[in-house]
Amino acid sequence: MSGKTETPRVAVMRSYLGRARGLGAAGTGVEHWWAQRVGTVALLPLTAWFVFTVLHLAPMDRAAALNFLHAPWNATLLVAFILVTFHHMQLGLQVVIEDYLQAGTRTMAMLVMRGTIGLVGLACLLAALRLAI
Amino acid sequence: MRDVRDALLVGRNSEGRLVRRPMSPFMIPKDYRPQLTSVLSISNRISGVALCAGVLLAAWWLLALTVGDAEFAEVRRFTVSPVGLILLFGWTLALVYHTLGGLRHLMWDTGHGFDLPSVHRTGWAAVGLSLGLTATLWVGAIWWLG
């Protein structure tokens, strides 16, 4: 911290107990934690499928690739991969923002992050649905 | 003092003077020597953030696939360009490492492997397997794609 020599002044006219009260656990963390674990487990097979798909499609022309992703199971797995991946990204980046950004910039960063991930995620989802139908 | 959290970091010493409570310094730069645990921990986070950028390439590829032959060919040109190949290699490494890091976290979540010998064992295993699996994937891909 920069102010090692500066004498701190407290401008808050409240007792220590009054300040500490209500500052315990937020009480909403379990949902986030659990969603992240479930997403992680789901991503293990989905990522393996995605890596296989990328390698499988690499030598194909566009028509063959379209045909591959049109197949019911491949379309299903692609949609699942997109949903879980973007959800996982959003949960992870949320923690990064909470850890490193101060209260002033945090909300804006969170909105920009969620907005960007939401839009790119929707674009991918629509593309996958167009391929499927 | 900016907010309540800041105010809570101020206390009184035994002489009654207000003092800033000491804070634990951040784990990596100047205050601590880099350790396997801290370096692998921040690597998991960095690889995760890098993969968020990597998803943009995957998104571009998927959208181009739905749009047309010319757009799809453009993505193909980029992915086989030197810059594209370096990015793809980096993202492969990040994906493999982040996956192995995720597996370690899932193991810790079940309450296993918290002792230091286990943490070091699985840590070095994650480093070795990341390099090994990434190399295998790329050698396999080069062999498969000619």
CB contact under 8 A, B72 and A62: yes
Q: How far is the CA of B89 from the CAs of B48, B132, B138, in angstroms?
A: 15, 13, 8
User: For residue B125, what are the CA distances in angstroms to A37, B36, B59, B122, B129?
Assistant: 21, 12, 31, 5, 6
Shortest CA gap A85–chain B (Å): 9
Q: How far apart are CA A40 and CA A87, in angstroms?
A: 10
Residue B136 confidence (pLDDT) = 96
Interface test with A, best of B46, B55, B71, B96 (most A CBs within 10 A): B55
Q: Which residues contact B63 (CB under 8 A, 6 or more apart)?
A: A123, A124, A127, B71
* Helix ranges (DSSP H) in chain A: 16-20, 29-57, 62-70, 72-100, 103-132
Cα torsion through A62, A52, A130, A91, rounded to 10: -140
Question: What is the chain A residue with the closest CA to B138?
Answer: A55
Q: What angle do CA A23, A26, A30 make, to 5 degrees?
A: 150
Mutate to test the interface with B, among A95, A120, A129 (most CBs of B within 10 A): A120
DSSP A23: -
pLDDT at position A12, please? 65
For each of the domains in chain B, give its residue range(s) and CATH number, in order of start. 34-145 (1.20.1300.10)
What are phi and psi for residue A124, nearest 5 degrees? Answer: -65, -40
Query: How many Å apart are CA B80 and CA B78, to the nearest integer?
Result: 6
Report the distance separating Cα B61 and Cα A120, nearest Å: 12
Q: Quick: pLDDT tens for B58-74.
A: 999 999 999 999 999 99
A67 contacts: CB under 8 Å, gap ≥ 6: none
The dihedral formed by the CA atoms of A72, A78, A80 and A82, expressed in degrees to the nearest 10: -150
The predicted pLDDT at position A1 comes to: 46
Question: Are the C-beta atoms of residues A127 and B64 closer than 8 Å to each other?
Answer: no
Place of tokens 């995720």: B102
Q: Where are the domains of chain A?
A: 27-132
Question: B80 touching A, CB under 8 A?
Answer: no
* Distance (Å, whole) CA B54 – CA B87: 8
- 133 residues of chain A, pLDDT tens digit each: 444 566 666 666 777 677 667 776 777 788 889 999 999 999 999 999 999 999 999 889 999 999 999 999 999 999 999 999 999 999 999 999 998 888 789 999 999 999 999 999 999 999 999 999 8
| Chain A interface includes B70 (CB < 8 A) | no
Interface of A with B (CB under 8 A): 1, 3-4, 7-12, 19-20, 23, 37, 40-41, 43-44, 47, 51, 55, 58-59, 62, 65-66, 69, 85-86, 89, 92-93, 96, 102-103, 117, 120, 123-124, 127-128, 130-131
Question: Is the pLDDT at B133 greater than 70, yes or no?
Answer: yes
Q: Do B59 and A130 touch (CB under 8 A)?
A: no
Say which CATH architecture domain A27-132 belongs to: Up-down Bundle (1.20)
For residue A6, the model assigns a pLDDT of: 64
Q: In whole angstroms, what is the distance from residue A50 CA to residue A81 CA?
A: 8
Tens of pLDDT along B15-39?
Answer: 888 888 887 777 667 778 888 998 9
